Amino acid sequence: MLKKSLLIFLLSPIVIFILLFIIYPYINILVNSFKTQWTNEWTLKNWKNVFTYPQYINALKNSILFAGSSTLISAIFGSLIGWISLRLSDKSIDTIRSIFSIPMTLSGLVVAFSFMVLLGRSGIYNTLVSLLGLEFLHFNLYSWEGLLVVYAFYNIPLFSITMISIFRNLDISLVEAARNLGANRIQTWIHVIIPNLAPGFVAATALVFASMMGAFGTALALTGLSKILLSLLIWSTASESNFNIPQANALAILLGLTIYITLYIFMKIEKKLKGE
């Protein structure tokens, strides 16, 4: 009885936190997405708009494509860095992890303005290529490509830290056993290394994809609303110029559901790869 009471006491702050800051806000947003803006009457108009307005549909498509592209870039470079880490000492790995942790501590606005100084229209890079007469090498930071470059600054280190741990925790004895049994390098990768890396790779992919679906601060600072992502559209819909909170609520639920469904799919894939 005492243990049960102690367990309830220890868990109660967590339960209260989840109820107040996760469940209640989501329920509140969901309920209000079915109401009108001024009269507070029940309506399905907001959800009808979500699935019929081209602007909303395009914003969802853009968010998925942007998140997918950013995740792909991060997966390629992160996996490469993870593989390279096998040839480095523990001291070097600790240094790399410390350096790669820095981007995750920086504000989105700070990163955005830093890239403006470096790659903006009058930034160091574009000024230099203009002086050299290499205008064809100009880089447009405020394009989709620019957004991908900036978010790679966050995501590649995040993906790399995960893959470094996965690669370095790989059971080398399995690789040696495969080679001793006559498997060549390619066969060893296909049948031993990749299956052992796959669950962690999928988990890292899910983490980056979910965070990119909600990309906001840096994207807003760089492009304003010239590049329509669902997260930016939610902000615009709830801002003073439009101020349609119920419609913004419906879009927020759409974004949340998209992320949840994606994470659920990745979770199922990860469990299947683990043989669970």
Residues 11-26: what's their mean pLDDT? 91
The tens digit of pLDDT for each residue in 140-181 reads 999 899 999 999 999 999 999 999 999 988 888 888 888 888
Q: How far apart are CA 45 and CA 56, in angstroms?
A: 14
Distance (Å, whole) CA 192 – CA 190: 6
Q: Calculate Rg over the CA atoms of the chain.
A: 23
Angle between helix 124-131 and 108-119 (nearest 10): 10
Domain ranges in the chain are 52-72+107-150+171-274
First to last CA, the chain: 35
DSSP 53-120: -HHHHHHHHHHHHHHHHHHHHHHHHHHHHHHHGGGS-HHHHHHHHHHHHSGGGS-HHHHHHHHHHHHS
Which amino acid would we find at residue 107? S
Task: Work out the average pLDDT over 134-139.
Answer: 88
41, 35 in Cβ contact below 8 A?
yes
pLDDT score for 225: 75
pLDDT at 276: 66
pLDDT in tens, 24-82: 999 999 999 999 988 889 999 999 999 999 999 999 999 999 999 999 999 999 999 99
Statement: residue 1 has pLDDT above 70: no
Query: Amino acid letter at 230?
Result: L
pLDDT tens per residue across span 214-230: 998 889 888 887 778 99
Kindly report whether the global pTM for this prediction surpasses the value 0.85: yes
What b/e readout covers 5-38, taking b as 16+ CB neighbours within 10 angstroms?
A: eeeeeeeeeeeeeeeeeeeeeeeebeebbbbebe
DSSP string, 195-256: HHHHHHHHHHHHHHHHHHHT--HHHHHHHTTSS--HHHHHHHHHSTTT--HHHHHHHHHHHH
C-alpha–C-alpha distance, residues 206 and 170, integer Å: 21
CATH topology of domain 52-72+107-150+171-274: MetI-like fold (1.10.3720)
CA quadruple 8, 10, 12, 15: dihedral sign: negative
Dihedral sign computed on CA atoms, order 126, 129, 133, 139: negative
CB 21 within 8 A of CB 13: no
DSSP 38: S
Is the per-residue pLDDT at 252 higher than 70? yes
Q: How far apart are CA 240 and CA 164, in angstroms?
A: 45
Q: Is the pLDDT of residue 241 over 80?
A: no
| pLDDT (average), residues 15-20 | 92
User: Which pLDDT score is estimated for 26?
Assistant: 92
